[in-house]
Every structure is written in C-alpha cells, then in structure tokens.
Amino acid sequence: MEILRSTWLFIQDQVLGMKWLNTVIGNGLSALGLDTTSRLGGSIQFFLYDVVKITVLLCVLIFVISYIQSYFPPERSKRILGRFHGILANIIAALLGTVTPFCSCSSIPLFIGFTSAGIPLGVTFSFLISSPMVDLGSLLLLMSIFGANIAIVYVVVGLVIAVIGGTIIEKMHMENYVDDFIRNANSVDVESDALTVRERLIFAKEQVIETFKKVFPYILVGVGIGAIIHNWIPESWIQTVLGSNNPFGVVLAVLVGVPMYADIFGTIPVAEALLAKGAQLGTILSFMMAVTTLSLPSIIMLKKAVKPKLLVLFIVICTLGIVIVGYLFNVFQYLLI
C-alpha cells in the first residue's frame, strides 16, 4: 500500500506537478544572480514555472482529449444523446461535455446544434453547463496543483450542477423560450466518414494548435495575476476578503469571476495563488466555476439563442448552484486539505 501511495505522490508531484521544473527554474534564476526569495525573484520564478508547466500539460492533454473527441463528432453525439431519456440523458450529456475541451463560447454552437436537432432542452443545457466547467484536461491539471482529492471533487460537483441544472430546465418546459430560428431549423444528420489513425492524429494536432493560440494569452494573464497575488498581495488581505471571517466571500468571488473571460487553464494559476494565501477552498472553487461558466461573452452569445426568461433561469440556476457549492466546501474544507 505504501508503495502505491509513494508512486501516486511521485506522479502527482513530479509528473503532473513538475516540481522538478520549479527547482530547475529556481536554480537557473539564482545562477543569473536573481534572488528568488525576494518578491520580484519569486514572481518571476512563479510566472516562468506555471507558464511552462501549464503550457506543456495543456498541449499534451488537449492532444489526447482531441484524439478521443475525434470519435464523437456532433452527428454521433446527437445520436448518442437521442438514445437516452430522463435524468440518464442529462447525466450522459454532462459526461459528454467532459470530452469537449472548449470554453463556454465554443460550447454554445454545439448547444445550438443539439437543440435544433430535437434533443430535449434540459439535456442540451446539461451539456452546456458541463462542457466549459469540467473536462478531462482540467481534472489532470487540477491534480497537478491541488491534489487528487480536490480535483476529483471539483469535477464531480461540476457534473452534479450540470445534471441538476438541466433537469430543472427540463421540468419547467422552457422549449418555447428558445429562439425561433433554432426551433425551426432543419436538422441534417450527416454520417461521418470513418477516420484513419493518421487522420485522427492530424485532427488532434490541429486542435492543439488552435486551442493553444486561443488559450495561451489567458494563461499568461492568469499566471501573471497569480504571481502578483502570490508574491505582492499580503496574506492578511486575502484572508480578510476571501477567508473564513468574511461570510460573503463566496458571493464576492462569484461576482468577481463573472466579468472575466477565461477557461479552466487560465483560472487555475489564480486559484493556486489564492489558496496559498489563505482563501477558502469553496470560495476558490466558486470563483473558478463562475469564470468558466458565466463569463459575460458567453452570456451575450447565449442571448442570441434563447429568450430572456430562459437566459435568466440559466444564470440563476448556475449562480445558486455555484454559491451553494462554495459554502458547502468551505464547511468541509478540512476533509480535503
């Protein structure tokens, strides 16, 4: 048992976490005469380490996930979802969202396609919530920074919010609040040609390049903010605003997260720095979920597809779910850290 535990810790710290890389960068900066214990030196080390680590993990994970995704084109996904009914369909839709390495804005066109194909509205909303909030890549990246317990909990909670949210929308029969151009669209289900292994590899490579170009600026911004929080903002400030002494910390984190536009890869460095400074776990999870699920650009795009009443219901369900999750995990934080 001890051997398995040691092996897992090695994978978590040295393979996924790349702690060796932090040491190498620190030694390199010291060799150049930079004091890594100073604020400036520590910020530079944090920035270089997280940018390189997240970029490497991003490219590897997106390649693997995109290869898997090549087996689930939109047409096949529609057929899979069409086979299930009731809450099981919501669960399948939420799980299907985990193999789509998209931000919320990229998920909305698929949501529109699924809805116009006649898939139940609640099922498509389970996909829409799950897709930007959780994916296989975020699971492994979260493991590299926060450990397996927190990573698994984050993904499971995201899936629960997606399933419950989609189920509520389904039970409220909101189909008439989808824009007319989507409800009246003719669905054309084109059978996808079988791809060869080489074609799937090419597809995965292209997805890596496309995703990297789209995500890398947000990684730089996220890591930059994380470096500032980690080395320049006093710990007492973070604990006052987002710590246990502020009962409104979760709500504040959600309100701060909504105007931001980033995916999970851009928010993790900020979350990492906040946790190190004493912010509560539930508050941090709420911030991450708000950024990835309720960003203003995605809300604006979704407004083109659904009518105001359904849009407001979506925002309210997601917000309440995220806030409840935040407070619950603040209460049970001691079990995970």
pLDDT by residue (tens digit) across 250-270?
Answer: 998 888 877 665 666 678 788
Please tell me the predicted confidence (pLDDT) of residue 260. Answer: 66
Sorting pLDDT into bands at 50, 70 and 90, what band is 168? very high
Residue with tokens 């409840």: 324
Q: Which amino acid is at 156?
A: V
* pTM (2 d.p.): 0.73
Average pLDDT, rounded, for the chain: 80
Asked if 55 contacts 24 with a C-beta cutoff of 8 angstroms, the reply is: no
Residue with tokens 């005469």: 33
Check pLDDT > 80 for residue 228.
yes
Q: Is 175 exposed, middle or buried (0-12, 13-18, 19+ CB in 10 A)?
A: middle
Dump pLDDT digits (tens) for 69-120. Answer: 777 666 666 777 777 778 888 898 888 877 665 555 567 767 777 777 678 8
Separation between Cα atoms, residue 160 and residue 166, nearest integer Å: 10
- Domain annotation covers residue 190: no
> Which among 169, 163, 74, 167 is positioned nearest to 116, based on CA atoms?
74
Separation between Cα atoms, residue 139 and residue 150, nearest integer Å: 9
Asked if 238 contacts 278 with a C-beta cutoff of 8 angstroms, the reply is: yes
- Domain annotation covers residue 6: yes
- Domain annotation covers residue 191: no
Separation between Cα atoms, residue 315 and residue 223, nearest integer Å: 28
Domain with 127 in it: 2-183+196-335
Largest CA distance in the chain: 66
Please tell me the predicted confidence (pLDDT) of residue 181. Answer: 65
Q: What CA–CA distances, in Å, run from 104 to 32, 110, 131, 305, 315?
A: 42, 10, 7, 14, 13
Check pLDDT > 80 for residue 144.
no
Separation between Cα atoms, residue 300 and residue 325, nearest integer Å: 25
Please tell me the predicted confidence (pLDDT) of residue 141. Answer: 72
Check pLDDT > 70 for residue 191.
no
Check pLDDT > 90 for residue 163.
yes
Please tell me the predicted confidence (pLDDT) of residue 45. Answer: 92
- Domain annotation covers residue 217: yes
- Domain annotation covers residue 307: yes
Please tell me the predicted confidence (pLDDT) of residue 50. Answer: 86
> Which among 144, 167, 142, 172 is positioned nearest to 156, based on CA atoms?
142
- Domain annotation covers residue 189: no
Q: How many domains does the structure of the chain reveal?
A: 1
Q: Which amino acid is at 233?
A: I
- Domain annotation covers residue 134: yes
Q: Which amino acid is at 236?
A: S
- Domain annotation covers residue 18: yes
Beta strand spans in the chain (E): none
